[in-house]
Homo-oligomer: A and B are copies of this chain.
Amino acid sequence: MVTRDEVARHAGVSVAVVSYVINNKPVVKEATRQKVLQAIRELGYSPNLTARSLKTRRMNQIGVLFNHIGNPFETGIALGLEQRARKDGQSLIFQTYDPSEEDHLKTLFSGRADAIILLGQQLKADTIDHFTKIGVNLFSVMMPQQPHARIPCADIDWFEAYRAMVDHLIRFGHTRIGFMGALNRESYLGIRFRHFRQALLSHGLEFRDERLMHGSFGTLEMAYEQMASRLSSGTDLPFTAIVCANDLMAIGVLSACRDNGVAVPEQLSIASSENILMSSHTSPPLTTIHYPRREIGFTTIEAVINHLNTGTPLTNYTLNHELFVRSSTGKVRD
């Protein structure tokens, strides 16, 4: 491995000068600057980032906590994060969050990351304290179930989003509207149900518990099973339209309908949330709420880096959502 010392020797200057050149300090005389650059090129030198970090206390690495890398919604956000981070020379360390191994995080990121970006996880107070103490900043994309005072978030306004959705369904004559949620405490999906219910209420509709379906962890498979077993039980559905907390579940529900001979949207309207790519390629394509994944990724990285560089405090961000009406929702059947 070629170090800065060798470059210095090769160029016939001191190590300090090499550092000056690398870090673009304007003090260096052009001639020596060229000598050094020449030596760097000849030796194929590139500075050891670990050593640099140790000295400067800036890691230029940001941790990102996934719930499930395989979820296209989360990777959509990751895409935005990564694109923006790269522009600033920041690397992202992706980790899957496992609630049962939360302590692991502390050791994993100590002195490795300048900040950690959460995807709606509900960290323990203890963990938050630890990172606060060692100076690792926390920021969350999507609000967790119980927002923590010290962790700012970026998210859309789910209440307004679902108000628009409910409004859309009401125009089609639906009044008995169901919801498929994922209620495990840790998930960012949990909060969506709360807002959906409020949206219903604000439209003067009630929500009956029997109309709530549990998609467990928000997976396609679970949703499929829930719906399939409900349909094959023979009893009538207690709703004429169902809104799913994410697209994957809506796709599962849709598959279950197809396999059980339920016509969508003629017999059941299905709507969902997120607008992942897949949601526009089902048949019928899904009516859904567009979540600005790329933008929220950009916003997040910008806010975090800005905070890191200038100390500007991190605050909450609310991004714009949009209702995408496609053909999985239609007039209620009389």
Contacts and interface: CB of A to CB of B under 8 A. Distances in A.
Interface of A: 1-2, 44, 46-51, 53-54, 59, 61, 68-70, 72, 75-76, 78-79, 82-83, 86, 89, 91-96, 106-108, 110-112, 129-130, 133-135, 220, 251-252, 255, 258, 277-278, 281-283
Contacts of A75: 69-70, 72, 75
Contacts of A134: 1-2, 44, 46
Nearest to A91: B93
A82 B59 contact: no
Contacts of A281: 220, 251-252, 255, 278, 282
A210 B185 CA distance: 55
B50 A59 contact: yes
Contact of A106 (B46, B95, B112, B283): B46
- Most chain-B Cβ atoms within 10 A of its Cβ — which of A47, A68, A110? A110
Of A53, A61, A135, A258, most buried by chain B (CB within 10 Å of CB) is A53
Given A47-B107, A48-B111, A70-B76, 10 more contacts: A1-B135, A54-B54, A69-B79, A70-B72, A78-B94, A86-B96, A91-B95, A91-B112, A93-B93, A278-B281
A251 B282 CA distance: 9
A284 to B, nearest CB: 10
Given A75-B69, A110-B49, A134-B1, A82 B54 contact: no
Nearest to A22: B107
Contacts of A82: 69, 94-96
Closest 8 A/B residue pairs (Cβ): A48-B111, A46-B110, A50-B111, A49-B112, A69-B79, A50-B53, A70-B79, A91-B93
Contacts of A95: 82, 86, 91-92
Contacts of A68: 79
A92 B94 contact: yes
Contacts of A278: 278, 281
A255 B281 CA distance: 7
Nearest to A133: B44
Nearest to A59: B50
Nearest to A57: B1
Contacts of A44: 129-130, 133-134
Contacts of A79: 68-70
A256 B2 CA distance: 55
